[in-house]
Structure 1
Amino acid sequence: MSNEGLLQTESGNAVVVALDHGIAKGNIEGFERPRETLKDTLQGGPDGIIARAPFVERYYDLLSETDTDVILAPDVLTYSTLPAQDDGDDMWTGAFSPEFVREFDPAGVKVVFNFGRKDTDLHRESIEYVVKLYEELRQTDISLVVETVMWGDNVPDGYGNDKKNLGNAVRIGWELGADILKVPYTGDKAAFAEIVDRTPVPCMMLGGPATTPEATLQDVEDGMEAGARGVMIGRSIWQTSDPAEMVRAMKRIVHEKQSAAEAGFSLP
Structure 2
Amino acid sequence: MNPGIDARLTRISTDGRYLIVPMDHGITMGAVKGLKDIESTIDAVTAGGADAVLTQKGIAPRVHPNKNGAGYVVHVNASTTIGPDENDKRMTGTVRDAVRAGADAVSMHLNVGSTYEPKQIEDLATLTTEAADLGIPVLAMAYARGPGVDESDPEALGHAVRLAEELGADVVKTGYSGDGDSFTHVTESTRLPVVIAGGSKGTDRETVEMVRGAMDGGAAGVSMGRSIFQHDDPGAIARAVSAVVHDDAGVEEALQQGGFAGGE
- Classify the TM-score, shorter chain: 0.7 to 0.9
**In structure 1, what is the equivalent of residue 77 of structure 2?**
75
Taking only aligned residues, the RMSD between alpha carbons, in angstroms, comes to: 2.1
Give, in whole Å, the separation in 2 of the partners of 1:89 and 1:60: 29
CA distance in 2, matches of 1:78, 1:10: 32
Matching residue's letter, 1:20: D
Segments ≥4 residues shifted beyond 6 Å: none
| Amino acid in structure 2 at the alignment position of 1:115 | V
- What residue number does 2:109 align with? 112
- Which protein has greater RCO, CA pairs closer than 8 Å, 6+ apart? 1
1 or 2, which has the higher helix percentage?
2
1:46/1:247 contact within 8 Å kept: yes
Q: What code does the residue aligned with 1:255 have?
A: H
- Deviation of 1:10 (Å): 4.8
Cα gap change, 1:255 to 1:267, in 2 (>3 Å): closer
Question: CA 1:14–1:181 in structure 2 vs 1: closer, same or farther (change >3 Å)?
Answer: same
CA distance in 1, matches of 2:53, 2:158: 26
- Kindly tell me: are residues 141 and 225 of structure 1, through their superposed partners in 2, closer, same or farther at Cα, counting changes over 3 Å? farther
In 2, distance between residues paired with 1:188 and 1:90? 26
In structure 1, runs of 5+ residues without a counterpart are 82-86
Partner of residue 92 from structure 2, selected from 92, 95, 119: 95
Residues 97 and 248 of structure 1: CA distance in aligned 2, closer, same or farther (over 3 Å): same
1:133 match? 127
Change (3 A) 1:259 1:98: same
1:267 and 1:200 mapped to 2: Cα distance?
A: 35
TM-score (norm 1): 0.87
8 Å contact from structure 2 (residues 89, 110) kept in 1: no
Q: 1:234-262 CA distances to partner (integer Å, 9 max, x unpaired)?
A: 11112222111111111111111111111
1:20: Cα distance to partner? 0.8
- Structure 1 residues 125, 98: closer, same or farther in 2, change over 3 A? farther
Q: Which residue of 2 aligns with 1:150?
A: 144
Within 5 Å, give how 1:22-41 maps onto structure 2: 22-41=26-45
In the alignment, residue 114 of structure 1 is paired with which amino acid? N
More displaced stretch, 28-37 vs 192-201: 28-37
Aligned length: 255
Give, in whole Å, the separation in 2 of the partners of 1:125 and 1:198: 23
Task: Give the Cα–Cα distance (whole angstroms) in 2 for the partners of residues 38 and 77 of structure 1.
Answer: 23
Instruction: Give the % identical residues.
Output: 26
Q: CA deviation at 1:34?
A: 2.1
Distance (whole Å) between structure 2 residues aligned to residue 221 and residue 104 of structure 1: 33
